[in-house]
Amino acid sequence: MEVLQEDEEYNWREVRLPSMTRVEPEPELEREKGERRRGRDILIAIDHGPNSKHAFDWALIHLCRLADTIHLVHAVSSVQNTVVYETSQQLLEKLAVEALQVAMVSSVARIVEGDAGKIICKEAARLKPAAVVMGTRGRGLVQSFLQGSASEYCFHHCKVAPVIIVPGKEAGDESLI
């Protein structure tokens, strides 16, 4: 896989999510109208692992508000591979429906080709979100350094927004997934 340069374009495909309409209640107070009701953009890095799902659930419960928009970003090796794209699209559609049902937030999804850490930082620079949320496997420092870690890379290189790294669940909490 080629190294992504800062000024280099990258391949991506927008995911068409099912048309879901969100019903927003009318503000009760006059001061709640206007600019404040616009909401924030929150970027959530997604993959097929349980730690990513745990971070997504954490963001819906603890971070998202009614007017927010979550941007689901999934990094893949090739956006041209139809099997990879369709599997990723199904995952992102399922998460978008869950986000609407649980937190009543709208979702935008994008599947991007390349190295996960670099892609997440590049998407954060493009969107300028309020936060970047991602999961981690909870490996040690040496193991993360030797094998590479997207969350470690984003923590050190993403300068646009705070990076929230949600650790994976403990072995005893597996039944809550």
**Domains of the chain: residue spans and CATH:** 46-138+147-168 (3.40.50.620)
* Rounded-to-integer distance, Cα 4 and Cα 126, Å: 15
Query: Which residues are registered as beta bridge partners of 15?
Result: 109
Helix (H), strand (E) at residue 106: strand 106-113
* Rounded-to-integer distance, Cα 52 and Cα 73, Å: 11
pLDDT at 43: 97
Q: How do residues 89-127 score in pLDDT, each as one tens digit?
A: 999 999 999 999 999 999 999 999 999 999 999 999 999
Pair 125, 43: CB distance under 8 Å: no
Tokens of residue 52, six digits: 């990513």
Tokens of residue 20, six digits: 């879901």
Helix, strand or coil, per DSSP, at residue 54 = helix
pLDDT at 144: 46
Cα angle for residues 1, 158, 112 (degrees, 5° grid): 40
Helix, strand or coil, per DSSP, at residue 89 = helix
pLDDT at 92: 95
Q: How do residues 19-76 score in pLDDT, each as one tens digit?
A: 554 545 555 655 555 544 578 999 999 999 898 999 999 999 999 998 899 999 999 9
> What pTM did the predictor assign?
0.76
Phi and psi dihedrals of 113, rounded to 5?
-90, 130
pLDDT at 15: 80
* Rounded-to-integer distance, Cα 43 and Cα 62, Å: 14
